[in-house]
Structure 1
């Protein structure tokens, strides 16, 4: 039976365990240039030392106005490559594999003078009203994702994740709640995502898997549910996605009757349904900080990998501690082994 510290292989990606550090925006860019700094270096490399099998670098945007804030990362310029490569190389030294999440915030770009979106619908009454992209601009946006992927590959990452969740641009196009277009991108809500997938895959090495983070359920009136997300995920799988990172929500203010549960593992059933319906590997995420619970998700074959967000914000060495708590062996760097062996006494 597989467990949290069983190795995992997907195409050319070989992971030492099933523990994923999910992308979590740090809002730590200093000069609003989208370039990583020492904060980001320490943040990611410490989790590599701490035993994570896969580290996914936070939402990294394809153009300056595609950032949620001006303090987020970018990958719209070759200037971003070398600083990111420094982080990737250092993480590799400690046995972690590294992915990067490529994205555009769409209407949720707070610091853009005029955000862009599939339709001119603001996120809420306190948000800027976005400008609807023209058909030609939408096609050009696909190319920006492709160029971003080319730069990402030059950083030495092991995989790329497309952000199609949490109300950002790809999600906005795939949702009838935010896409009211009448052109080709309104007639087929998956077209934008499919085109990006194919464009990115065209520049990726054959054995590099493509990940996509999705919101499998929306929490607003008029939003989609699991049946719809299975359908669009199938289209994305056919276009070239190798693994889905299954989250939910983010598309708008949550109505009371659709408020997501606060219970542990509340999104795992969504990941399981995507996995079973499409016969595709998935990452489960959401309140999985307890090692015994995270291990059970893998052992019960509900997901192939487990993402631990808040747990890793609290403890960079979450994976090492988890191995000790559930009685599994893992490589512990340097003299740290003495400290973690003490936990089992």
Structure 2
């Protein structure tokens, strides 16, 4: 397993005291796998990505039973040890690329800085500059930027959002990382540009067997190559499983609601038709509900939901729900009926013995 996360908890400070904004999240990314982490805004996706990269402010407390990359414990590493992995074996694409590009440097200067001296073939320092420039041009061509001269001479504020994201991808793949974390890389982009970015990521995944952890807000923006899907809501895992199986037969009400909305938007809708939506909004950090955090919005919520559901496994799915849907719900209902029947049979036997 390339990335292994077990019971990751990220605690922040609110006016009412410490709050577990990310609550015991577990998932893994295998070598060469595309794993999509889907959740609404505020679900904790960016916090999880920053915890893996080691970018979180010291005010956030990060705990985990396991936060391993390629068998190495990231939490126990020093900053110097972590820097040898981050940016080389692990790279990240951010939501707003312009905010992470230096406004005072040209694109060429920033991409040239991303190329390590160890990756250059030139033996003498005076010939390294021209080789770096050639490698920058190659990187821009690989991400689909043909007019390299104009882009190289530009500053970040002079290029479009789509081109800035491609530049960010070029910087991230400069060292051919084993794991690429893409934190909503197509936010606020036009559909054509969004499709172009995902085709680009899919090409790198296919050609270099690069693992990708993709953060997304809805099902409509996950990569077609996604092999595994994890649903995240308000810092808690709702459901996880193979993408195709999970979309076909979701076990969690949240997965079903998000899937239905996405599929409905893609289909041909009649004018003035109400879209299927989940009522309410994600709770703020200061007022997280007890138990299952989806409870106040869940259409299947009952009294038992004030208790945090344990992680259950059924077939290839992992889910956290007291009242799951479809096959898992039928199986769980069958088990409950068997327990009740066994208790009734036991009482009947006791009555006969007493007689």
Query: Is the structural similarity TM-score above 0.5?
Result: no
Identify the structure with the greater strand proportion.
2
Question: What TM-score do you get using the length of structure 2 for normalisation?
Answer: 0.36
Q: Which protein, 1 or 2, shows the higher relative CO under an 8 Å CA cutoff with sep ≥ 6?
A: 2
| Max Rg structure | 2
